[in-house]
Structure 1
Amino acid sequence: MTLTEVLVSAVILGISTQVGLQGWTRTAQAAAAADQLDQQLTQLEQRLLITRRVLAKAPVVHPHCRFDGDAVDAALSAIPMAPAITETVEDDRSTDGLWLTVAHGPVQRRQLLTPAGLGHCRAEVP
Structure 2
Amino acid sequence: MESMHQLDMALLQAIGAIENLLALPSCELAALSWARYQTAKAVAARRRAIDHMVNAAMRDGGDQAEAARALRSGNLDMRMVYTDHVTAWPTARAIANWPDYVAASKRLAEMIRNQVQREREMLYPGLPPLYA
TM-score (norm 1): 0.32
TM-score (norm 2): 0.31
Q: Is the radius of gyration larger for structure 1 or structure 2?
A: 1
Select the structure with the greater relative contact order (CA < 8 A; seq sep ≥ 6): 2
Greater strand fraction, Structure 1 or Structure 2: 1
